[in-house]
């Protein structure tokens, strides 16, 4: 962080890049889905059409101030989180927080959304949130073990430090393959895709948290999804794939990272909540603990 | 049938938008609205069976930006896919009223056009657009997926040209629709939604929004004022 | 006269005054003034918080050749500050509408007794914190126990009385352990003075230290409610009358932590504790204590998750958060200890605020049962806001203060290379997040009940302390350096290297934390989010809660459309069977054993065959006389030995 202007540019650019890349990831997800189902899939700009359409809605309902603030927190929390995520040439304020702070900042949007959905007074939404929080409990435990292992290995909690280490030495995935596998498993849960999308469950609880979201509220959730995919990809890339020396390499990596869970997602049905918790607490935790034993 | 395509358009309200983005990028928004349609298929009858092939690999609606959604809040198009019994119609109307504008209704199958093979039935609503402003009818018993997609493309064209504004008619001539609904369901008919309030809130109210039928409604209506967030010590 | 004399004397006199004047209406205002003045006196000693010399009381007592003395060091000052500030906020909270209602519902006497209990608690805690040797520590300890008991016993409810009795039984057992430990310490080191005991400890061998540490840890641990002594606390605190619960929940149990830090960390020293290997395990004693802390974060937190009453949920969290403090202190490096001690402050602020919000909800609706609440956010928005701020603190999410202390604990565990403890701490945090959402959702969100349509916001006298605490929670979250100054001074006082910090957090080569930046960026994010939300989208309309998606169903007030029962059903399918009530059964078994033994001896004593008793005594006497080498049995030898000394 050399100057104020650079910082300001980063504050604006990092979330914007995250949004654009995230849009492409949403498109990729839908394209992969279409290909796997032998369809053609949406046109190139479909994610933009959707978001513009949703923000262009002329009427929309609000269930009260907390419903609105919840959406502001959900999008705003992610905007903030993107600035903690180092990308090639831009570190943002990554050195002020590090991985622990980042994982807790990432809970802010979920909390905001949970509060907003709560005020909708729709039990489907509340059930969705209760399941989402349970899912978080499920995937965060393997994830946090992975974070512990990675931070111990690199002797740092700073993402910038981790990336530097990997670029000098070797990618984390080669040094800690078991942790990388467990991390990928946790990532699947974190992205909220099948088989772990129990909290959305469209046919059962009517998309859970999204049940009462219309117009710009739904648009906010679409924006949030772009950030979510981007964050997952960049986080994993920073931890295990050595970040990126340049933008091309970086983008290739994050798209590959995100494409793996997406492809897995589309060939699986859903797990029940308790099955999800069980599987998350069993396999990735076991693999991650063995991985930690190698690191220590 | 003669009422189709004859929806009076209020010229003053034609361009009035509550959304500042829409004011600047009007055409862009219209284009996006036509290219991104979330549909809520209210599967009332046999026509529903034609939708899966239209959505899946054979015809792939997603090419046109059309994808299914779950709740009326999220959806843009309401697909009524068959005969509508009186009891079902109540739910259809509630669902329609819970959708957010701009919203479009597509009647699929002959049953929605004129009652179809149920035209004699005492329990079936015959002409859907007496109760809801229908944008596009797709006749047939049942229409093939090609026809469904053709209908959806017609709707896309309408939206892009700024002609997909039937939803405004529901706000502007609410009394007319309410009258038909009361005629069918009885005078104690009421949904939990507040159409008149919405029409006022978004500046869509005309002299035909309220009338003799809405006065009947007011007589027995449960209050629909939202709880205001207030600090009363 | 030192400032400490002034403070203790003033509090003692104020206690007398409040006892005398308790029936008058002005007592509530009077007590507020008392706490303000006491806080001012404490602030006069604020040099302590920035590394000043310990303040001694000029008042000493000579007992059996021992000098009883009182003093304040940085650690005492830190705890005393929390105590007095919480007491001040509590007194403010109960001075207005809440007190009036309590007076009306119970009696003037009952309200007066609540004020008396509060000041006696404060006084006894100050005496405990000021203790300058082990004997005065024990005196303070007993005073605190009985003062807490008085507060708990104020609720005439059967459940509450039972909980209070349970508490005092636990507390007495703990006190016996401490007394025994103090006697043994005296026996081994020949002194009760902290400094001399500290020097004497160097000569003791590991097994002696192990016994001492176990006894002290049991005694102090009972007050903290650590596993396996956690059963008394939640019910007792939850059932304490409203404002009393605010005070008790926020600080009372932390006296155990204070004494534990003082004795085990400062006097005995964690290096000695770490040297003791526990046989048949890989653990040393320090690790074992850390694990007790970790289990205390997990088990009570997940018990809290199952509660269906807001007060109980919070009280169980109080037990669980104590585990973080113990865990942090037991990591023993500068960052971990700082986290543990700082968590006392942070915890006190948000726990007090949370109990206040719940009390405010009870004040307005008459219940804290989750099944009878919901949707109150439109009616009590400020109370909701305070609750949200405090639960963000409790869950340890930035930018509130709870995050900073938990971050320090995590960071220390990372540096220390303790993966399992780290995971345990995170499991506790995740459970906290789940249950605080249950708390806020089931009270304030969801559908508003018909009977609550006319509920109003909490009265101003309750709102002011709540909002004040919320501001503290946020401010110390953004600028943790303010608290870390005091924590660093306390660390010096207990002989641990102080944490290196600045206003925004701590600087570390391997990744630090700067909360000012973190908060700044978060609010920048919120600003961007608000711009996107308010300027890029159209107008929205507020609608009634019955205009809601229900699959085409017409919602009315006749059918409740709200989810609060069995809130984490999916999770409970899996972990529900893991709640085995082991500790409850263990406690029950102990109680049964004691009552069986006492009944046995009672029957024997009251037996209608006195001839048998005589025969038994004669037999015993004969056995004693005829024992082989004529020397007395071991027990008697011990007694003789004790007397001859």
Residues ≥6 apart with Cβ < 8 Å to C457: B230, B231, B232, B233, C379, C380, C381, C382, C383, C463
Interchain CB distance below 8 Å, C431 and A149: no
Determine what percent of chain C is predicted with pLDDT higher than 90.
24
Which of A43, A57, A206 lies nearest to residue B100, judging by beta carbons?
A57
Residue range C8-17, pLDDT digits in tens:
889 899 999 9
H helices of C445-565, in order, are 460-478, 481-493, 515-536
Higher pLDDT, C639 or C477: C477
User: Cβ-count burial of A160 within 10 angstroms (0-12 exposed, 13-18 middle, 19+ buried)?
Assistant: middle
Which of C538, C543, C554 lies nearest to residue B226, judging by beta carbons?
C543
The boundaries of the domain holding residue B47 are 17-164
Any CB–CB contact under 8 A between A206 and chain B?
Answer: yes
**What is the pLDDT, as a whole number, of residue A2?**
58
Q: Which residue out of B27, B35, B61, B156 would a mutagenesis test of the A interface target, given it has the greatest number of A Cβ atoms within 10 Å?
A: B35
- Is residue B91 a part of any domain in this protein? yes
When pLDDT is averaged across residues C368-385 and rounded to a whole number, the result is: 89
**What is the pLDDT, as a whole number, of residue B215?**
86
Closest Cα partner for B192 from C453, C541, C555? Answer: C555
Which of A71, A80, A158 lies nearest to residue C525, judging by beta carbons?
A80
User: How many Å lie between the alpha carbon of B96 and the closest alpha carbon of chain C?
Assistant: 10
Cα distance between residue C98 and residue C360, in whole Å: 8
Interchain CB distance below 8 Å, B20 and C459: no
| Exposure on the CB side of residue B73, measured as CA atoms within 13 A | 30
When pLDDT is averaged across residues B47-74 and rounded to a whole number, the result is: 87
Cα distance between residue C540 and residue B192, in whole Å: 18
C-alpha distances in Å from residue B200, one per residue of A145, B193, C545: 55, 14, 19
Residue range A4-49, pLDDT digits in tens:
888 888 888 888 999 999 999 999 999 998 988 888 889 999 999 9
Closest Cα partner for C337 from C400, C398, C266, C389? Answer: C266
**What is the pLDDT, as a whole number, of residue C472?**
93
Q: What's chain A's Rg over C-alpha atoms?
A: 19
- Is residue B222 a part of any domain in this protein? no
Q: Give C379-404 as a DSSP string.
A: T-HHHHHHHHHHHHHHHT-TTSHHHH
User: How many Å lie between the alpha carbon of A273 and the closest alpha carbon of chain B?
Assistant: 21
Closest Cα partner for C304 from C247, C234, C361? Answer: C234
C-alpha distances in Å from residue B63, one per residue of A31, A39, A40, C573, C627: 10, 9, 7, 42, 102
Which of B31, B32, B63 lies nearest to residue A40, judging by beta carbons?
B63
Q: Is A90 helix (H, G, I), strand (E, B) or coil?
A: strand
Interchain CB distance below 8 Å, C544 and B202: no
Give contacts of A68 with chain C, Cβ < 8 Å.
533, 540
Give contacts of C387 with chain A, Cβ < 8 Å.
none
Touching C: A residues 58-77, CB under 8 Å: 58-66, 68, 71-77
Give contacts of A211 with chain B, Cβ < 8 Å.
70-71, 73
Interchain CB distance below 8 Å, C437 and A212: no
Say yes or no to pLDDT of C245 above 80: yes
User: How many Å lie between the alpha carbon of A120 and the closest alpha carbon of chain B?
Assistant: 12
Cα distance between residue C310 and residue C362, in whole Å: 10
Interchain CB distance below 8 Å, C543 and B201: no
Say yes or no to pLDDT of C643 above 50: no
- Is residue B220 a part of any domain in this protein? no
User: Cβ-count burial of C205 within 10 angstroms (0-12 exposed, 13-18 middle, 19+ buried)?
Assistant: exposed
Q: Could you count the other beta carbons within 10 Å of the beta carbon of residue A230?
A: 28
- Is residue B4 a part of any domain in this protein? no
Closest Cα partner for C315 from C344, C345, C346, C358? Answer: C358
Contact C348, C266 (CB under 8 A): no
Which of C460, C539, C544 lies nearest to residue B202, judging by beta carbons?
C539
The boundaries of the domain holding residue A63 are 4-295
* Phi and psi angles of residue A111, each rounded to the nearest 5 degrees, phi first: -65, -45
Say yes or no to pLDDT of C633 above 60: no
Report the complex ipTM: 0.91
* Phi and psi angles of residue B80, each rounded to the nearest 5 degrees, phi first: -105, 115
**What is the pLDDT, as a whole number, of residue C641?**
45
Band of residue B21 on the pLDDT scale cut at 50, 70, 90 = low
Contact C3, C45 (CB under 8 A): yes
When pLDDT is averaged across residues C608-624 and rounded to a whole number, the result is: 82
Contact A81, B124 (CB under 8 A): no
When pLDDT is averaged across residues C59-78 and rounded to a whole number, the result is: 84
Cα distance between residue C550 and residue C536, in whole Å: 29
Any CB–CB contact under 8 A between C623 and chain A?
Answer: no
Q: In chain C, count of helices (H) and strands (E)?
A: 26, 8
| In the block, residue with structure tokens 């020397």 | C631
Residue range C248-304, pLDDT digits in tens:
888 888 899 999 998 888 888 888 888 888 888 788 888 888 899 999 999 999 999
Exposure b/e, B72-93, CB count within 10 A at least 16 = b = bbbbbbbbbbbbbbeebbbbbb
Any CB–CB contact under 8 A between B17 and chain C?
Answer: yes
Interchain CB distance below 8 Å, C536 and B233: no
Which of B21, B69, B71 lies nearest to residue A56, judging by beta carbons?
B21
User: How many Å lie between the alpha carbon of C84 and the closest alpha carbon of chain B?
Assistant: 28
Neighbours of chain A (3+ CB pairs under 8 A): B, C
- Is residue B152 a part of any domain in this protein? yes
Interchain CB distance below 8 Å, B194 and C555: no
**What is the pLDDT, as a whole number, of residue A75?**
92
Band of residue C349 on the pLDDT scale cut at 50, 70, 90 = very high
User: How many Å lie between the alpha carbon of C452 and the closest alpha carbon of chain A?
Assistant: 15
C-alpha distances in Å from residue A84, one per residue of A11, A141, B218, C56: 10, 22, 55, 48
H helices of chain A, in order, are 4-36, 46-55, 65-83, 94-97, 99-105, 107-119, 123-154, 159-168, 172-175, 177-190, 202-205, 215-240, 247-265, 273-295
| Exposure on the CB side of residue C550, measured as CA atoms within 13 A | 20
| In the block, residue with structure tokens 């006269």 | C1
Residue range B68-98, pLDDT digits in tens:
888 999 899 998 888 888 888 999 999 999 9
Any CB–CB contact under 8 A between A98 and chain C?
Answer: yes
Which of C381, C544, C548 lies nearest to residue B229, judging by beta carbons?
C381
- Helix A215-240 and helix A177-190: axis angle, to 10°? 180
Residue range C400-444, pLDDT digits in tens:
888 989 988 988 888 888 888 888 998 999 999 999 999 999 999
Any CB–CB contact under 8 A between A161 and chain C?
Answer: yes
Q: Residue C399, preceding bond cis, omega within 30 degrees?
A: yes
Q: Name the domain count of chain A.
A: 1
Cα distance between residue A211 and residue C538, in whole Å: 19
Residue range B99-112, pLDDT digits in tens:
988 899 998 888 88
Q: What is the CATH number of the domain that holds B28?
A: 3.40.50.12280
Cα distance between residue A73 and residue A76, in whole Å: 5
Q: Name the domain count of chain B.
A: 1
Any CB–CB contact under 8 A between C559 and chain A?
Answer: no
Closest Cα partner for B72 from A215, C14, C499, C643? Answer: A215
C-alpha distances in Å from residue C471, one per residue of C249, C386, C474, C477: 19, 9, 5, 10
Q: Which runs of E-coded beta strand occur in C241-313?
A: none
Which of A41, A52, A203 lies nearest to residue B62, judging by beta carbons?
A41
Q: Which residue out of C540, C547, C567 would a mutagenesis test of the A interface target, given it has the greatest number of A Cβ atoms within 10 Å?
A: C540
User: How many Å lie between the alpha carbon of C502 and the closest alpha carbon of chain A?
Assistant: 13
Q: What global pTM score does this model have?
A: 0.89
Which chain A residue shows the shortest CA-CA distance from C505?
A: A96
When pLDDT is averaged across residues A152-172 and rounded to a whole number, the result is: 83
User: How many Å lie between the alpha carbon of B62 and the closest alpha carbon of chain C?
Assistant: 25
Q: Is A212 helix (H, G, I), strand (E, B) or coil?
A: coil
Any CB–CB contact under 8 A between A52 and chain C?
Answer: no
| In the block, residue with structure tokens 């992969």 | A32
Interchain CB distance below 8 Å, B19 and C547: no
Contact C324, C405 (CB under 8 A): yes
User: How many Å lie between the alpha carbon of C513 and the closest alpha carbon of chain A?
Assistant: 5
- Helix C419-444 and helix C334-365: axis angle, to 10°? 20
Q: Which residue out of B70, B155, B174, B191 would a mutagenesis test of the A interface target, given it has the greatest number of A Cβ atoms within 10 Å?
A: B70
What H or E segment, with its residue span, contains residue C540?
none
Band of residue B22 on the pLDDT scale cut at 50, 70, 90 = low
Any CB–CB contact under 8 A between A270 and chain C?
Answer: no
């Amino acid at each position: 962080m050399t100057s104020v202007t650079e910082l300001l540019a980063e504050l604006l650019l990092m979330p914007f890049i995250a949004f654009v890349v995230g849009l492409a990831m949403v498109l990729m997800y839908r394209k992969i889905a279409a290909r796997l189902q032998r369809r053609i899939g949406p046109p190139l700009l479909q994610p933009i059409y959707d978001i513009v359409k949703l923000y262009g809605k002329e009427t929309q309902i609000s269930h009260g101030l907390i419903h609105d603030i919840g959406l502001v927190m959900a999008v705003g929390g992610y905007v903030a989180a993107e600035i903690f995520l180092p990308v090639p040439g831009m570190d943002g304020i990554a050195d002020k927080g590090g991985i622990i702070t980042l994982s807790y900042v990432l809970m802010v949007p979920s909390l905001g959304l949970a509060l907003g959905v709560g005020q909708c007074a729709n039990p489907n939404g509340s059930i969705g949130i209760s399941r989402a929080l349970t899912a978080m409990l499920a995937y965060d435990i393997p994830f946090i073990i992975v974070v512990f292992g990675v931070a111990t290995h690199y002797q740092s909690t700073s993402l910038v430090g981790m990336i530097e280490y990997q670029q000098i030495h070797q990618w984390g995935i080669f040094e800690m393959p078991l942790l990388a596998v467990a991390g990928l498993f946790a990532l699947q849960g974190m992205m909220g895709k099948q088989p772990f999308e129990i909290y959305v469950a469209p046919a059962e609880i009517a998309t859970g948290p999204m049940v009462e979201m219309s117009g710009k509220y739904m648009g906010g959730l679409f924006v949030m999804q772009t950030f979510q995919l981007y964050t997952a990809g960049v986080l994993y890339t920073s931890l295990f794939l050595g970040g990126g020396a340049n933008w091309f390499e970086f983008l290739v990596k994050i798209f590959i990272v995100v494409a793996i869970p997406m492809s897995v997602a589309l060939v699986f049905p859903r797990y029940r909540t308790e099955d999800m918790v069980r599987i998350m607490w069993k396999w990735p935790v076991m693999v991650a603990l063995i991985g930690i034993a190698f690191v220590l | 049938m003669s009422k189709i395509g004859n929806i009076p358009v209020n010229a003053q309200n034609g361009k009035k938008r509550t959304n500042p983005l829409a004011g600047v990028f009007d055409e862009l928004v219209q284009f996006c609205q036509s290219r991104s349609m979330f549909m809520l298929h209210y599967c009332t009858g046999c026509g529903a069976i034609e939708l899966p092939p239209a959505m899946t690999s054979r015809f792939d609606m997603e090419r046109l930006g059309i994808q299914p959604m779950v709740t009326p809040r999220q959806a843009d198009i309401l697909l009524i896919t068959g005969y509508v019994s009186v009891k079902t119609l109540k739910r259809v109307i509630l669902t329609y009223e819970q959708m957010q504008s701009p919203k479009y209704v597509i009647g699929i199958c002959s049953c929605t056009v004129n009652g179809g093979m149920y035209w004699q039935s005492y329990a079936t609503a015959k002409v859907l657009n007496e109760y809801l402003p229908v944008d596009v009818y797709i006749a047939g018993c049942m229409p093939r997926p090609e026809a469904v997609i053709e209908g959806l493309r017609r709707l896309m064209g309408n939206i892009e040209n700024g002609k997909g504004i039937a939803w405004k008619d529901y706000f502007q001539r609410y009394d007319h629709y309410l009258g038909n609904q009361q005629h069918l369901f009885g005078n104690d008919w009421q949904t939990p939604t507040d159409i008149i309030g919405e029409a006022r809130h978004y500046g869509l109210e005309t002299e035909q929004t309220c009338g003799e039928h809405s006065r009947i409604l007011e007589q027995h209506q449960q209050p629909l004022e939202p709880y205001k967030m207030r600090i009363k010590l | 006269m030192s400032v400490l004399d002034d403070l203790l004397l003033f509090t003692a006199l104020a206690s007398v005054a409040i006892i005398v004047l308790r029936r008058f209406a002005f007592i509530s205002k009077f007590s507020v003034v008392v706490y303000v003045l006491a806080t001012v006196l404490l602030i006069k000693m604020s040099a302590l918080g920035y590394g000043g010399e310990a303040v001694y009381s000029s008042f000493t007592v000579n007992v059996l050749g021992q000098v009883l003395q009182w003093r304040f060091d940085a650690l005492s000052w830190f705890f005393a500050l929390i105590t007095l500030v919480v007491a001040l906020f509590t007194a403010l909270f109960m001075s207005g509408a809440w007190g009036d209602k309590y007076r009306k519902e119970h009696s003037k006497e009952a309200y007066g007794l609540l004020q008396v209990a509060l000041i006696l608690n404060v006084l006894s805690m100050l005496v405990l914190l000021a203790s300058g040797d082990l004997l005065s520590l024990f005196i303070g300890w007993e005073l605190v126990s009985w003062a807490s008991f008085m507060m708990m016993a104020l609720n005439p409810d059967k459940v509450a009385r039972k909980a209070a009795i349970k508490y005092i039984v636990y507390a007495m057992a703990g006190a016996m352990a401490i007394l025994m430990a103090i006697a043994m310490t005296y026996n081994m080191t020949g002194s009760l003075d902290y400094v001399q005991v500290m020097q004497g400890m160097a000569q003791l061998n590991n097994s002696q230290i192990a016994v001492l540490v176990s006894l002290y840890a049991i005694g102090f641990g009972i007050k903290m409610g650590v596993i396996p002594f956690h059963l008394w606390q939640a019910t007792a605190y939850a059932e304490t009358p409203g404002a009393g619960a605010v005070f008790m929940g926020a600080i009372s149990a932390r006296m155990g932590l204070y004494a534990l830090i003082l004795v085990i960390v400062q006097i005995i020293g964690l290096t000695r504790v770490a040297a003791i290997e526990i046989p048949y395990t890989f653990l040393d004693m320090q690790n074992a204590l850390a694990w007790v802390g970790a289990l205390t974060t997990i088990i009570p937190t997940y018990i809290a998750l199952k509660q269906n009453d807001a007060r109980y949920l919070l009280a169980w969290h109080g037990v669980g958060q104590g585990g973080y403090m113990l865990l942090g202190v037991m990591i023993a490096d500068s960052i971990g200890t700082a986290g543990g001690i700082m968590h006392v402050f942070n915890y006190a602020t948000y726990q007090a605020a949370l109990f206040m919000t719940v009390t405010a909800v009870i004040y307005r609706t008459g219940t804290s049962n989750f099944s009878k609440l919901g949707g109150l956010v439109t009616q009590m928005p400020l109370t909701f806001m305070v609750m949200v701020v405090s639960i963000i603190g409790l869950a340890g999410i930035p930018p509130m203060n709870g995050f900073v202390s938990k971050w320090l604990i995590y960071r220390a565990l990372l540096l220390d290379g303790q993966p399992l403890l780290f995971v345990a701490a995170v499991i506790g945090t995740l459970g906290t997040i789940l249950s605080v959402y249950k708390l806020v959702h089931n009270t304030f969100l969801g559908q508003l009940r018909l009977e609550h349509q006319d509920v109003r916001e909490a009265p101003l006298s309750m709102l002011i302390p709540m909002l004040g605490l919320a501001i503290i929670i946020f401010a110390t979250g953004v600028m943790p350096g303010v608290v870390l100054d005091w924590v660093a001074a306390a660390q010096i006082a207990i002989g641990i290297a102080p944490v290196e910090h600045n206003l925004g957090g701590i600087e570390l080569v391997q990744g630090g934390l700067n909360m000012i930046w973190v908060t700044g960026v978060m609010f920048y994010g919120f600003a961007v989010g608000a711009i996107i939300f308010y300027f890029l989208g159209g107008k929205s309309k507020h609608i009634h809660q019955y205009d809601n998606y229900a699959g085409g169903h017409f919602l009315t007030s006749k059918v409740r459309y709200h989810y609060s029962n069995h809130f984490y059903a999916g999770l409970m399918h899996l972990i529900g069977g893991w709640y085995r009530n082991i500790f409850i059964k263990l406690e029950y078994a102990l109680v049964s054993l004691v009552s069986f033994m006492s009944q046995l001896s009672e029957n024997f004593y009251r037996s209608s065959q006195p001839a048998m008793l005589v025969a038994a005594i004669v037999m015993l006497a004969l056995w004693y006389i005829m024992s082989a080498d004529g020397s007395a049995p071991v027990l008697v030898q011990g007694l003789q030995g004790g007397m001859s000394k």
